[in-house]
Amino acid sequence: MSTQHQIPSYLTPHETGPWAVYLEQIDRVTPYLGHLSRWVETLKRPKRILVVDVPIERDDGSIAHFEGYRVQHNTSRGPGKGGVRFHQDVTLSEVMALSAWMTIKNSAVNVPYGGAKGGIRVDPKTLSHGELMRMTRRYTSEIGIIIGPDKDIPAPDVNTNEQTMAWMMDTYSMNEGRTATGVVTGKPISLGGSLGRREATGRGVFVVGCEAASKRGLDIAGAKIAVQGFGNVGGIAARLFAEAGAKIVAVQDHGGTIFHSNGLNVHKLLEHVAAHGSVAGFEGAEAVLPDQEFFAVHCDILIPAALEQQITAANADQIKAKIILEGANGPTTPEADDILRDKGVLVVPDVIANAGGVTVSYFEWVQDFSSYFWSEDEINQRLTRIMKEAFHAVWQVTEDKSVSLRTAAFIIGCSRVLQAREVRGLYP
Ligand code: NAD
């Protein structure tokens, strides 16, 4: 796939993974962009890439260096916006792709942002609390030259949370000499965070999942669901579906895969994960499955909510689900998309399915600027309305143009970005 694309010189061919997937998705949408396709190269190269060295003093007195990134893919429609990931497998290609998907997502749900993403190549489980704080602060200081409340606003992603955002907000504020709450979203409520933000991505997955199920005539009550990733996104989506009467029959995380034909007790599983860090060892499971069997589990809805490139040509054929809700970013490769389409599986793409997080991040940013905070009900109602409207707008394009939901979401997302690009014109 990657060979037909022009790979930037700063990526070696074997590093192109998720970025090559994104480029293929752009190629698939280009024929539908009309006169705007003149500008499509804009989407095939990030606007700005910052690679930083993040040195810290470890608790034992030694010095450790980590590789950090912040990529601003596009700022045509507004400041950059996107999460920060701490993971041992973070690469520049991954951060580039994640930043690009943020551009498309923010545009597809029509929040006034461009796309950005950041990350540090580190296994945070190997760091103490103090080391994690020093690494987060040094990283924030290094990328401080390009982030800011009206430039680029980070948020949580894999292995980062409210505490990470609090450290980032404090570090940026100290360097600026003022308290800048709007520099990050996903903050604790005590620092200008928004009610409903922690749950927003999972709630958005649930809202579009209900819409997709009703399009397919599937009743959520009694539906069987398999979830990969039981963190912020997967854990909350599973809880909301279970509360609506669905059976969460399989859950996989980095520690293992568990199964129960009558549905796992999600509340007990959440408590187990909070205490032990993984679903492994959960006593309420009927069986522990080999990891490779997860995608073959009999279910109606499959929710990948972990990492990219999980559903590939190697396992797409085994999938039994009628609907896939992409809680994760980039979980399905283009080859797998084709196999799933031929099998009649409805794939609700990441750029719509997991857009609830950035939507409430937008609410948080607006609340910070106005220093006026909304009730949780108000937030959830506005979130639900935006998610439903975005889903139905994409569905309409799917029907009008006979394309997949992914291509339809990309048609809407790319068109808005390129319209902004065109009307702004090129500088100078
Ligand atoms: P998280 O750190 O809270 O949880 C990640 C989960 O994935 C954990 O359960 C972990 O065990 C699991 N996991 C990690 N490696 C795995 C592997 N190899 N196999 C199976 N499971 C594995 O992260 P999160 O915030 O829930 O993010 C999950 C996905 O959702 C990511 O793709 C992220 O980009 C995307 N996303 C997150 C948000 C958000 O608001 N947090 C918003 C939009 C999209």
Tell the residue nearest (CA) to atom 29 of ligand 1: 328
Q: How confident is the model at residue 10 (pLDDT cuts 50, 70, 90)?
A: confident
CA–centroid distance, residue 83 to ligand 1 (Å): 12
Of 332, 362, 387, the residue that ends a domain is 332
> Given the CA of residue 160, which atom of ligand 1 is nearest to it?
2
Q: Is 144 a domain residue?
A: yes
CA–centroid distance, residue 203 to ligand 1 (Å): 15
Both 205 and 327 in one domain: the answer is yes
Both 205 and 161 in one domain: the answer is no
Q: Are 345 and 324 in contact (CB under 8 A)?
A: yes
Q: 94: domain range? A: 45-179
Q: Is 70 a domain residue?
A: yes
Q: Residue 281's closest CA among 290, 293, 291, 269?
A: 269
Task: Evaluate if residue 339 carries a pLDDT over 90.
Answer: yes
Tell the residue nearest (CA) to atom 14 of ligand 1: 254
Task: Provide the strand spans (E) within 180-331.
Answer: 224-228, 247-253, 256-259, 287-289, 301-304, 323-325
Residue 233: count of CB within 10 angstroms of its CB: 30
Q: Are 176 and 150 in contact (CB under 8 A)?
A: no
CA gap 130, 119 in Å, rounded: 19
Phi-psi region of 129 (alpha: psi -120 to 50; beta: other; left: phi over 0): alpha
The SS3 call for residue 288 is strand
Both 155 and 228 in one domain: the answer is no
pLDDT tens across 117-146, in order? 999 999 999 999 999 999 999 999 999 999
Q: Is 164 a domain residue?
A: yes
Q: What is the CATH number of the domain that holds 86?
A: 3.40.50.10860
- The CA R_g of the chain, rounded to the nearest whole Å, is 21
Both 214 and 273 in one domain: the answer is yes
Provide the pLDDT for residue 2. Answer: 41
Both 168 and 206 in one domain: the answer is no
- DSSP-assigned states of every residue in 346-396: EEE-HHHHTTHHHHHHHHHHHHHHHT----HHHHHHHHHHHHHHHHHHHHH
Tell the residue nearest (CA) to atom 40 of ligand 1: 357
Q: Is 158 a domain residue?
A: yes
The stretch 187-191 carries a mean pLDDT of 97
The stretch 135-160 carries a mean pLDDT of 98
Q: Is 307 a domain residue?
A: yes
- Mean residue pLDDT across the chain: 96
CA–centroid distance, residue 302 to ligand 1 (Å): 15
The stretch 404-418 carries a mean pLDDT of 98
Both 280 and 228 in one domain: the answer is yes
Q: CB of 329 closer than 6 A to ligand 1?
A: yes
Both 134 and 236 in one domain: the answer is no
Q: CB of 349 closer than 6 A to ligand 1?
A: no
CA–centroid distance, residue 254 to ligand 1 (Å): 10
Which residues have a catalytic role annotated?
117
Task: Evaluate if residue 3 carries a pLDDT over 70.
Answer: no
Q: CB of 269 closer than 6 A to ligand 1?
A: no
CA gap 306, 89 in Å, rounded: 13
CA–centroid distance, residue 229 to ligand 1 (Å): 6
The predicted model scores a pTM of 0.96
Both 173 and 213 in one domain: the answer is no
Q: Residue 195's closest CA among 240, 162, 244?
A: 162
Q: CB of 233 closer than 6 A to ligand 1?
A: yes
Q: CB of 254 closer than 6 A to ligand 1?
A: yes
Find tokens 């190697």 and name the residue.
314
The stretch 147-169 carries a mean pLDDT of 98
Q: Is 68 a domain residue?
A: yes
Provide the pLDDT for residue 34. Answer: 98
CA–centroid distance, residue 128 to ligand 1 (Å): 21
pLDDT tens across 232-276, in order? 999 999 999 999 999 999 999 999 999 999 999 999 999 999 999
Both 216 and 328 in one domain: the answer is yes
The whole-angstrom distance between residue 293's C-alpha and the CA centroid of its chain comes to 24
Q: CB of 230 closer than 6 A to ligand 1?
A: yes
Tell the residue nearest (CA) to atom 37 of ligand 1: 157
Both 91 and 212 in one domain: the answer is no
pLDDT tens across 48-98, in order? 999 999 999 999 999 999 999 999 999 999 999 999 999 999 999 999 999
Provide the pLDDT for residue 4. Answer: 60
Which residues lie closer than 8 Å to 193 by C-beta, 6 or more apart? 162, 165, 185, 186, 187, 364
Of 282, 305, 332, the residue that ends a domain is 332
Both 124 and 250 in one domain: the answer is no
Of 148, 179, 210, the residue that ends a domain is 179
Task: Evaluate if residue 1 carries a pLDDT over 70.
Answer: no
Q: How confident is the model at residue 12 (pLDDT cuts 50, 70, 90)?
A: confident
> Given the CA of residue 278, which atom of ligand 1 is nearest to it?
11
Q: Are 54 and 67 in contact (CB under 8 A)?
A: yes
Q: CB of 232 closer than 6 A to ligand 1?
A: yes
Q: CB of 397 closer than 6 A to ligand 1?
A: no
CA–centroid distance, residue 427 to ligand 1 (Å): 38
What's the one-letter identity of residue 93? S
Burial class, 41, CB count within 10 angstroms (exposed 0-12 / middle 13-18 / buried 19+): exposed
Q: CB of 253 closer than 6 A to ligand 1?
A: yes
Q: Is 365 a domain residue?
A: no
Q: What is the CATH number of the domain that holds 212?
A: 3.40.50.720
Q: Are 26 and 43 in contact (CB under 8 A)?
A: yes
Both 173 and 205 in one domain: the answer is no
Provide the pLDDT for residue 55. Answer: 98
Burial class, 123, CB count within 10 angstroms (exposed 0-12 / middle 13-18 / buried 19+): exposed
Q: Is 106 a domain residue?
A: yes
How many separate domains does the chain show? 2
